Amino acid sequence: MILLYLDPGSGSFLIQLLIATIAGLSIAIGANWSKIKRLLGKKKHKVETDDEDDDDDKDIQHPGD
């Protein structure tokens, strides 16, 4: 597919919106998981802390750190 006059941007936008909505929803569920569980009458669950900065770094070695 060679795009000369056609723009692949629309498809990229729509698919991004779709994935992001699902992913955003699952994050929201994850963040409120303990609340949901409580609502369902399950035992209290430890809330996971939001430490994505450290999480991001685990892939990449940081010499001198």
Partner 1 sequence: MMTIKISNTPAIDASFRDPSGFLFMREGVLYRQVNQIYAEDYTRLMDSGLYAKLVKAGLLISHAESGEGQAFQAAEPAVAFKTVRPEIVPFISYPYEWSFGELKDAALATLSIQKRALKLGMSLKDASAYNIQFHGGKPTLIDTLSFETYKEGEPWVAYRQFCQHFLAPLALMAYRDIRLSQLLRVYIDGVPLDLASELLPMRTRWNLGIATHIHLHASAQKRYADVAVSEARSGRKMSKEALLGLVESLQATVRKLVWKPAGTEWADYYAANNYTDAAFEHKKVLVGDWLSKIEAKTVWDLGANSGIFSRVAVETGAYVVSSDIDPAAVEVNYRLVKEKKEQNLLPLVLDLTNPSPSLGWNNRERDSFLQRGPVDATLALALVHHLAISNNVPLPRVAEFFSTCGEWLIVEFIPKSDSQVQKLLRSRADIFSEYTQAGFEKAFGRWYTVKESSAVRDSERWLYLMRRK
Q: Which residues bind partner 1 (CB under 8 A)?
A: 1, 3, 6-28, 52-53, 56-57, 59-65
Tokens 């498809």, residue located:
11
Would you say 30 and 36 are in contact if contact means Cβ atoms under 8 Å apart?
A: no
Q: Indicate the residue among 22 and 42 with the shorter CB distance to partner 1.
A: 22
Vertex 18 angle, CA 10 and 29, to 5°: 155
| Smallest separation, CB 38 to partner 1 (Å) | 22
DSSP state of 7: -
Q: Indicate the residue among 39 and 54 with the shorter CB distance to partner 1.
A: 54
| Smallest separation, CB 48 to partner 1 (Å) | 14
